[in-house]
Amino acid sequence: MIIKVQHANPLSTEADLLVLPMLEGEKKLNGTVATIDKHLGGIIKTVVSDDGFEGKLKETLFIQTHGKMPAKKILIVGLGKISSLTPIILREASALAVKKAKEVRAKIVVSALHEVADNRKITNRQAGLFIAEGALLGNYHFATYRDEESNVETEKRKTENFVLVDTKKTVVKNLVAGVAEGEARANATIFARDLINTPASDMTPKDLVNVAKKITKENNAISLSVLTVDDAKKLGMGAFLSVDKGSDEPSYIIHLVYKAKKKTAKKVFIVGKGITFDSGGLSLKPPKYQESMKSDMAGCAAVLGVFSKIISIKPQVEVHGVMPVAENMPSGKATKPGDIVKAMNGKTVEILNTDAEGRLILADALSFAVKEKADLIVNLATLTGSCVEALGEEIAALFGNDQKLISQIKDSAKEVGESVWQLPLPQEYVTLIKSRVADIKNIQSGQGAGAVTAALFLKEFVGKTPWVHLDIAGPAWAERETSPAISIGGTGFGVRMLLSFLEKLR
C-alpha cells in the first residue's frame, strides 16, 4: 500500500472510500464532516441519528454518497471523547479504517482523520506519523505460503492507496514529514513480523545471518561481523555453545554496528534473543506449546527490524545489534540436565532445564557487550511463560539496574503505544538461582517468580553497565487481534519503541 499526502479538498477528491473522524459527545457536525453533510443535503446527520452513531471509540458507520460527490462511500470513524484523544487513537482509527476498507474492496482510501489534531495535544506531524503507521500495520497480511487462489482473493480486497488530504499547505507540509516517519516505523515493524511469521525450517540461524547481510548491503552506514561456533569457543562462550549442541543447524552471533558521525558517541547495545525454534531440548515441550515456537526469535527479529530502518532516524549514538541465533533441539549430542558450563564472563552455570535456554545464549551475548565496552544495554527476549502468567499477552515485563534508563524505555514505550510494566529485581531472590555445584543455575528453586529470577540470572552478566531487560514473551506473538493494528502471529513488538528510544539518545 502506498501512503500519500495531497493538497486537496476531501469534498472534491476521487476515492472509493472517504474516511472522516467524529468525536463522542459532539452536539453538531464539525469541519469536513459538516461541509460534506451540507453538500449531500443532510444525509450524514440523518444516518448518524437514525443509526444511533455516537462517535464512540472504534465505532464505525458506512454512508453511501449516491454519486453526489467523487468519493463513492464515506466511513465515519469514532474517536471517543476529545479529552481522551491521543496519537495512538489516531493510529488505531487509521488501522480500523483500512480493515473496513477491505470489506468494501476500496482500492483508494482518502482520509481526513488528521483534522482532529489541534497542535496543542496532537500536532499535524504526529497525526501524519500515527495515521500512516496505523494504515500500514492495519493492512499487514502474511500470505507468503497461501495458495494462488487465496492470494488472488486477498489482492481483490487490498487497498492500494491511502491518501491524506488537506486544503492548507502548512498542514500538508507537516503531514508529509510525519508520514515519512510513520512509514519507516511501520515498515521496520512489518520487517520483523515477516521474519517471525516465517516457518522455522525457512528461518534458520543461517537465514537470519543472510537477512543481516542483506541489511548491510542496502545501507553502507551499517557494518556486520558474524561469530561462528569456532569463534564462540575461542571467546569462551560455553553457555551459548551448550544450546548449539543439540541441533544440526550451526549457530552464530550476529553483530551489526551503526556508526554515528560523532566519534565520542555512546555505544548502545541492543541484544535480541534468536532461538529460531525452541523444542525445549531434552526438557521437551509438550506439542501444543511448540506450535508457535518459530516466534522464539522475536527479540532478534526486533533488532533486525530496527536496523532495517535505522538510517531513517540517524541516531547520534553508536548502535550495536547483538543477536545470538540458534536452534534448541533434542538429540544424542544435546546438553543434558545437570550439565555445567562456563560462560564468557567466567561464571559457571548448572543447566537443570534445557528449556530455559534463552538466558544461556543471552548470558554470553550480554558478556560480549560488556567486553565491547557498552555504555548501556537493552535486551529483548521471549524469555519466560511466567511473564505471560503475570502480565498477560499484551504487556512486556521490564527489568533493569538503572532507573534513568528504565524511565527512558518506559517513555518511549508509552509514546509508541507498546505496553511495558516494571517488575522488581529483589536481591533476596538471588538465592533462588544459586547452585550447590556451580555459581548459578538456569532455573530457580521452588515455585513462582520465574520472570524475576530469569532477569536476575541475566543481571549476573552485565556487571555495572546500565541495562534493561524486556521479557516480551506475551506481546511478541498474538493469538488474536487485540487491536486493529495487530494481526494474528508475530507483532514486531519493540521495534517502534527502540526506534523512538534511539532517536532521542545523545
Contact 179, 129 (CB under 8 A): yes
d(CA 46, CA 65): 13
| Backbone dihedral angles phi then psi of residue 122, each to the nearest 5 degrees | -135, 125
Which one is catalytic: 173, 285, 342, 504?
285
Q: Max CA-CA distance within the chain?
A: 82
Strands 267-272 and 252-258: unpaired
Which one is catalytic: 100, 294, 359, 459?
359
Contact 160, 2 (CB under 8 A): yes
Q: Return the DSSP state at 297.
A: G
Question: What is the 3-state composition of the chain as percent helix, strand, coil, each rounded to the nearest 5?
Answer: 40, 20, 40
Bridge partners (DSSP) of residue 172 are none
Nearest CA-CA partner of 89 in 114, 106, 119: 114
In this structure, what C-alpha cell is assigned to residue 241? 555453545
> Does residue 68 have an active-site annotation?
no
Bridge partners (DSSP) of residue 269 are 320, 377
User: CB atoms < 10 A from the CB of 219, how many?
Assistant: 16
| Backbone dihedral angles phi then psi of residue 415, each to the nearest 5 degrees | -60, -40
In this structure, what C-alpha cell is assigned to residue 51? 443509526
Q: Return the DSSP state at 311.
A: G
> Does residue 359 have an active-site annotation?
yes
| Residues that are catalytic | 285, 359
